[in-house]
């Protein structure tokens, strides 16, 4: 069985879209998505520096547009390729996954991510907050230490990786009393995403979503809330809205992939983050990082191979 996944914020790197924009079909599709986002995503994906694309209001639409356009090159139009067994996205990647699965149109996904990025950037500006990846340590001890520091386990990414989020002061205190046998890596993000600090963004998301009529998923679509497959479009849209201020349970998403018998996992560009997590958590699952158009033939063969395995 084949899983297609879309990465979240932090996966972007300067210039990662340059080779893709040399494809006429990709370039045209990407320009249409950028028009909806109201920003020059082509420039951000090719010439903008790391600090510019770190901006939440830039990074989020850039990543969603890249995943949607890459999936279209690989699979054809969203929601019609039954070779895909499961589709999912990490954090903002959920919007791309929803478009690939047919719950949202590409335009609706870009409208939502435009407002999501802006709203989360504004929420981040209200108070200095951030996120720190905790690698290693005993899981229970790590979670207890995060809670004791007043932080939120904002991303639970499975074996050996939990991301703590909260105020800068809370994170500094946490670092001074780090859990045993753990290593801390402050993340280059603008705020404490998927925590109560993002509550101001939820209402803005809900207002934008009120004009959207989602369809039911045409592919098995994973939810970051609890790792479950969600087919009802209204339910998934509500989950997308509330997820802004709630933790990402990617560990549970991977559990569901395992339970469904996933044999191959392909990560859309900019790939590497989710396959890296999968390498530690989904033993025996073949992985593919799709990062440039010269990989498309191999990627299509990978799709065919694992679609056949799940038939």
Q: Just list the catalytic residues.
A: 91, 194
CA 252 to chain centre: 14
Distance CA 109, CA 302 (A): 27
Phi, psi torsion values for 198, nearest 5 degrees? -95, 5
Rounded to whole angstroms, how far apart are CA atoms 110 and 21?
18
Assess contact for 257 and 86: CB atoms under 8 A: yes
172-186 per-residue burial string, b: 16 or more CB within 10 A, e: under 16: eebeeeebeebebee
CA distances from 96 to 99, 125, 186, 280, 287 (A): 5, 26, 26, 24, 19
Prior bond of 270 cis (ω within 30°): yes
Smallest Cα–Cα separation from 134: which of 173, 176, 163?
A: 163
Token duo for residue 174? 């946490």
């Amino acid at each position: 069985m084949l899983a297609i996944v879309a990465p979240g914020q932090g996966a972007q790197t300067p210039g990662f879209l340059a080779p893709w924009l040399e494809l006429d079909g990709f370039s045209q599709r990407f320009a249409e998505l950028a028009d909806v986002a109201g920003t020059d995503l082509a420039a951000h994906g090719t010439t903008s520096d790391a600090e510019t694309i770190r901006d939440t209001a830039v990074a989020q639409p850039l990543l969603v547009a890249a995943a949607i356009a890459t999936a279209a090159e690989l699979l054809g139009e969203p929601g019609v390729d039954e070779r895909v067994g499961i589709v999912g996205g990490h954090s903002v990647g959920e919007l791309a996954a929803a478009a690939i699965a047919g719950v949202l149109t590409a335009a609706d996904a870009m409208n939502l991510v435009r407002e999501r990025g802006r709203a989360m950037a504004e929420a981040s500006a209200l108070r200095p907050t951030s996120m720190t990846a905790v690698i290693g340590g005993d899981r229970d001890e790590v979670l207890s230490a995060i809670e004791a520091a007043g932080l939120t386990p904002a991303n639970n990414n499975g074996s050996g990786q939990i991301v703590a989020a909260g105020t800068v002061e809370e994170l500094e205190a946490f670092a001074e009393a780090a859990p045993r046998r753990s290593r801390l890596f402050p993340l280059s993000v603008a705020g404490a995403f998927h925590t109560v600090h993002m509550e101001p963004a939820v209402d803005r998301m809900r207002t934008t979503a009120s004009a959207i009529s989602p369809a039911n998923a045409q592919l098995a679509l994973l939810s970051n809330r609890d790792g479950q497959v969600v087919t009802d479009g209204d339910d998934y849209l509500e989950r997308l809205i509330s997820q802004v201020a709630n933790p990402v349970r990617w560990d549970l998403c991977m559990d569901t992939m395992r339970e469904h018998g996933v044999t191959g996992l392909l990560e859309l560009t900019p790939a590497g983050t989710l396959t890296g997590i999968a390498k530690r958590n989904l033993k025996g699952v073949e992985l593919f990082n799709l990062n440039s158009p010269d990989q498309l033939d191999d990627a299509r063969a990978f799709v065919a191979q694992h679609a056949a395995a799940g038939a």
